[in-house]
Chains A and B, each alone.
Chain A
């Protein structure tokens, strides 16, 4: 028997398809982001770090010693995995994770006060600088948090936790009238 699998976003049905009115604090959910997980082979951590730093428009998130998540908005999942496998051949294991993770982008002037309701880590601009990323606990859900701009953070969660995390983020942002929608950039 052949089955046709249709790829759909876990928040389909929870978010309107058309962009609505955007509040100052906004939760943006990009639909298509290529994500790959990279694990350095033993003793190769430094060369993988250097290789990832030279990888151009691929955004790299720290997930643990010798472990990263690589994100790209321009590459397809397959081409990202291929590019990383070529770049890091013999030094790291690369696994495609695009359908396994969901990206949330939270931005606005109150973003730290919203995140403080779920995350106990210090996010002060002086201690969590732009480009910093780390795995943290948001409520009861482990996420990878990265600061991508002055008042912009990205959370990457496991797909099966996406709906629960989305509900949590909505409750956390209700005080600030947080709006949410799929990213207009795709």
Chain B
């Protein structure tokens, strides 16, 4: 587990200040989408070895949701971005 996270608002912080909330690459399907699409979105998760985009919440700091891009094998952290700016960039 990566032990230091560079929060874009608070600086370098220990991982204990964060809660990890899973895959950040999923996009919520349309309300009218098929049951399979919803099943995939709600329940089906991959467990990749390597680069992974994850939602982390800085609960003990700025309380913002962040998207952490990290390597699940080497624990290297590539980037940390505010989730709101990621969503805005994706047009959501």
A120 to B13 CA separation, bound complex (whole angstroms): 7
Knowing A64-B9, A65-B9, the reply to whether A136 touches B60 (Cβ < 8 A) is yes
Q: Does B63 lie within 8 Å of A64, measured CB to CB? A: yes
Would you give the shortest CB distance from A141 to chain B, in whole angstroms?
9
A residues contacting the other copy or chain, number (CB 8 A): 12
Q: Does B62 lie within 8 Å of A64, measured CB to CB? A: yes
A142 to B10 CA separation, bound complex (whole angstroms): 14
- Selected from B16, B62, B82, the residue in CB contact (under 8 A) with A135 is B62
Chain B residues with CB under 8 Å of A63's CB are 62
Q: Does B13 lie within 8 Å of A121, measured CB to CB? A: yes
Knowing A64-B63, A142-B60, the reply to whether A135 touches B10 (Cβ < 8 A) is yes
A80 to B10 CA separation, bound complex (whole angstroms): 27
Knowing A64-B9, A65-B9, the reply to whether A135 touches B14 (Cβ < 8 A) is no
Number of A-B contacts (CB under 8 A): 39
Q: Does B16 lie within 8 Å of A64, measured CB to CB? A: no
Q: Does B14 lie within 8 Å of A134, measured CB to CB? A: no
Chain A residues with CB under 8 Å of B64's CB are 64-65
Chain B residues with CB under 8 Å of A136's CB are 13, 17, 60-61
**B33 is an interface residue with CB less than 8 A from chain A:** no
Interface residues of B in 16-63 (CB under 8 A from A): 16-17, 59-63
Chain A residues with CB under 8 Å of B90's CB are none
Interface residues of A in 89-144 (CB under 8 A from B): 120-122, 134-137, 142
Q: Please give the residue numbers on chain B whose beta carbons come within 8 Å of chain A beta carbons, in ascending order.
A: 9-14, 16-17, 59-64, 82
Q: Please give the residue numbers on chain A whose beta carbons come within 8 Å of chain B beta carbons, in ascending order.
A: 63-65, 67, 120-122, 134-137, 142
